[in-house]
Structure 1
Amino acid sequence: MVGMDTAHLLVRVLDLVGAFVFAISGAMLGSRQGMDLFGVLVLAFVTAVFGGIVRDLLIGAIPPAAIASWHYLAVAMAAGLLTFWFHERLDRLRHPVLFFDAVGLGIFAVVGTQKALDAALNWPMAAVLGMISGVGGGMIRDVLAARTPVVLRSDIYAVAALAAGLVVVAGFYLELPESLVTLAGAATCVFLRMTAIYWNWRLPSVKPPE
């Protein structure tokens, strides 16, 4: 019972951490596009919670955690305010939006997969739900910022989230420690995403007609 409580606490903490870093990525994009404070906070909030809301609705966890608890709103607002006031310092980091987005992607992917497994979903759909949970926030962020969502382009994005979900699934069936598996899954996603950005790895895509 203690182990189960610890596992649930780890998932909850990672969920909030993922919301925080996703909120930073949303707020950074809003700041770069010259949005006002309200626009930055809105972008931070929807980026932080949208993937988690979709995940919870699909597994029947109603109301979604992001709505049932005020912690997600507080975390997103804190990240948005910090980014709004210190965006110039954050902008000095190399690819700050991409890095925070990769971290959020990895965390949401592993948390989504773990929650799906806890809800007794089969392993392929658990990994897919983890991927959906990871890409949801980034998709709504890009849509609101009038950009083509990264997941719909040829970048290694959804594939990285799916890889993280598969790591969690493998660890679940091998009965490995959940904390180790979740961290390994998130690290796998971040590594694949950032490596793909650095080496310009892309999936095959259809060239538009001239």
Structure 2
Amino acid sequence: MIWELLNIIGTIAFAVSGAIIAMEEDYDILGVCVLGLTTAFGGGAVRNLLIGIPIETIWTQGHLFEIAFFAILIVFLLPSIVIKYWKFEIIFDAVGLAAFAIQGANYAVSIGAPLIVAIVAATMTGAGGGMIRDVFAGRKPMIFRSEIYALWAALAGLAIGLGWVRGSYSTFILLTAIVFFRILSVHFKWNLPHNNRI
């Protein structure tokens, strides 16, 4: 139940995030759909490759493709002023990051993977779709910026890998915390240390 819910939340959030960025880059409706679907399913595909799940299993998620498509279509039809005013891109990206990071870590734990694998699975599932989205849109991927992004996914993987998060209540708290801190890090421009001497 939790797995399926996280799947739906993450898929919708990242599909919308990809669609918004595509519209900002003035893509046509085909480009918006491609970028939205790539963002929604890219992180899961990267995770599957890393931990040895057959990549073709992504095509068995037919209902998620339908959900993502309708979410993209709704965004495409919304007036642009609505999207720009509410800054939906940041919110949906944060929700997608949180939902998929938790899902990736939970999957790693479910197959008995060690702690470091749970952290990597959380990071790549949470940030992988956004990374592919940014590359396709010709932007510098968020995961490589000094602004805190992938760290929140890694911390989710750490918490789940250590067994601190069990059950739907604690999972919801973790998801809310990741979204909250991701938005705070954007608002206050929190950065990880970086070297700009060169």
What is the aligned counterpart of 2:149 among 153, 157, 160? 157
Letter aligned with residue 192 of structure 1: F
- Deviation track 1:7-50 (CA, whole Å, cap 9, x = no partner) reads xx210221121011100000000111111000000000000001
Shift of 1:164: 1.6
Corresponding residue for residue 178 of structure 1:
167
2:177 corresponds to which of 168, 182, 188:
188
Aligned residue in 2 for 1:201: 190
**2:127 pairs with 1:138:** no
Structure 1 residues 98 and 76: alpha-carbon distance in aligned structure 2, compared to 1, 3 A threshold = same
RMSD between aligned residues: 1.7
Structure 2 gap ranges (5+): none
Kindly, what percent of the aligned residue pairs are identical?
35
Structure 1: unaligned runs, 5 residues or longer: 1-8
> Is residue 19 of structure 1 aligned with residue 8 of structure 2?
no
Match of 2:85 in 1: 92
Letter in structure 1 aligned against 2:84: D
Matches within 5 A, 1:47-62: 47-62=39-54
Superposed displacement of residue 199, structure 1: 1.1
Deviates more, 1:149-158 or 1:52-61: 52-61
Relative to the length of structure 1, the TM-score reads 0.87
Structure-1 separation of matches of 2:145 and 2:22: 20
Q: What is residue 107 of structure 2 aligned with on the other side?
A: 115
Number of corresponding residues: 197
Aligned equivalents of 2:103, 2:6: Cα separation in 1 = 7
1:78 aligns with 2:67: no
